[in-house]
Amino acid sequence: MARPTLTPAVYRRVTLVALVALVAIVITGGAVRLSGSGLGCPDWPNCADGRLVAPLEYHAMIEFVNRLVTGVVSMMVIVAVLGSLVRQPRRRDLTRLSMGLVAGVIGQIILGGLTVLFELRPPFVMAHFLLSMVIVANAVTLHWRAGQPDVRATDPPGTVDPGVRRLSRLMMTATAMVLFLGTVVTAAGPHGGDEETPRLDIAVGEVARLHGLGVVILLGLVVTLLVVLRRTRAPGAVVARAKLVLVVLLAQGAVGYVQYFSGVPVLLVGIHIAGATAAWMVAVRFHLGLDDAGPPAAVRRPAKAAMAPTQP
């Protein structure tokens, strides 16, 4: 019996589906927390009282549905791993990255169980979200790598100035710090996942101002990046991705300020969680694509052929 195989194009679609599923679990996890359903299923791995399936109760069903989504995500990650093994040609970098997703999801399952067993203690909830961001970065990298050529005659020439690379690394560090401070703000705020959940003993206003300062610094770095990209005549595709980072960050910052001054309503906090994930994704994609000036010449849309001269 012939062994099944996947083409590079099909495998890249598989990695996209896995990425979407991983982002979805971040959103559903946020819904669990914002609805106060973090302890809707107080046991692990069962929901409650030795029952695997949740009773028909609001909080229990929300938490149980999130666990079901985790199962779907796990299946998609397994498909991504198996796909990397039957992809033709097989590439070691794709296999390693797909295995990284497996390690991340297993870590999330264990951490999720500990979060429930320790009754949503803030450090566990914070770590749960931050590990999700690590896994999303891995998935973005896998999807991007899956779209790169299998064979290169030589190492790809650098398409941006070395100073841009240094600024990009600073931007990634600042983005990670802003995400971390955002989890601290949430852990000190009212949305802990359950009404009885202990909160961090930190003044929300103080850490929110620190978080806002981090956002301002991050925006300054992105604007500086755009200026340097323009001055060094970077490829248009790289500049476009930097502009996308700026737009997403501006939108995310606007939502953050509105939610803070309006009493952190649940809907805006949910949008802010989704925005944080989007900001992280576009930042990672920008950093990965510093040597990616656009699609290879072989797959670009051909220019219109010149009109043949009229015969006399």
Mean pLDDT (the chain, rounded):
85
| CA-to-CA separations, 259 to 28, 142, 200, 254, in angstroms, rounded | 20, 34, 20, 9
DSSP state letters, 73-107: HHHHHHHHHHHHHHBSS--HHHHHHHHHHHHHHHH
Q: What is the pLDDT of residues 26-66, one digit of tens each?
A: 988 888 878 877 777 878 777 877 778 877 787 888 888 88
Q: Are 240 and 186 in contact (CB under 8 A)?
A: no
The pTM (predicted TM-score) of the whole model is 0.86
| Rounded-to-integer distance, Cα 14 and Cα 16, Å | 5
Range with the lowest mean pLDDT among 82-86, 224-228, 231-235? 231-235
Which residue ranges make up each domain of the chain? 1-148, 160-295
For the segment 203-211, the average pLDDT, to the nearest whole number, is 88
